[in-house]
Amino acid sequence: MVKILEVKPNAPSADVIAEAASAIRAGGLVVYPTETVYGLGADASSNKAVEKIFALKGRKAEKPIPIAVNSIDMARQIAELTPAAEVLFKFLPGPLMIIVKVKPNVSKLITAGTGKVGLRVPDHPVALKLIDFVGGPITSTSANLSGKPAPLTVKEALEQLGGKVDIALDAGKCKLGVPSTVVDATTRKLKILRKGPISEEKIKKLLT
């Protein structure tokens, strides 16, 4: 049965975050809040944990799973950041996912063999502290079944995922309530793959 832990959005308890981080390091799954929607967190370096994500969500194996980091330094450890990607980090933390090429130390399972992955730095104290306590990247896929609406509350997430996660961090309703903007930064010319809170105009303005 899933353990639901209430956490203050702007002042998360270290004890609560430590418990959730411990579950992730042990190969478990944790539902956690971001500024956009609730995410499903697992150790991004663990193939077994990533396999659980695919199985639970019913996600197709050819679809990469996004990763959440807490800084550009952590991103550089796992990804090849183009100059444009480096500039886009000025929007982060925030509702932006940057598609980048990964380094060899990243699992082919999480990239679905594409060599690419979506990077997020969530603009939420709970998510950032969780990544910090885990000590490395965690998965950042939405806490829903594939094809179903992304959850804005823990209740909505658990209605879809049931008791198949270990811990759910309940910080109330997500602030934005819509998925992040997705930008492919693996080539010289940026491509908007999904429109979201950060507009194409803002992105173009930053890069000009």
Q: Per-residue pLDDT tens for 54-67?
A: 999 999 999 999 99
Neighbours of 66 (CB within 10 A): 21
| Fold annotation for 3-207 | DHBP synthase (3.90.870)
Q: Is the pLDDT of residue 208 over 80?
A: no
Tell me, what's the pLDDT at 163?
Answer: 87
Tell me, what's the pLDDT at 187?
Answer: 85
Cβ neighbours of residue 94 under 8 Å, at least 6 residues apart?
A: 35, 121, 123, 197, 198
DSSP H helical ranges for the chain: 14-25, 47-57, 72-78, 83-88, 108-111, 125-134, 154-161, 200-207
pLDDT tens sequence across 82-110 = 999 999 999 999 999 999 999 988 888 99
| Tokens encoding 69 | 């980091």
pLDDT tens sequence across 64-77 = 999 999 999 999 99
Residues 130 and 22 sit within 8 Å (Cβ to Cβ): no
Tell me, what's the pLDDT at 145?
Answer: 97
3-class secondary structure, 181: strand
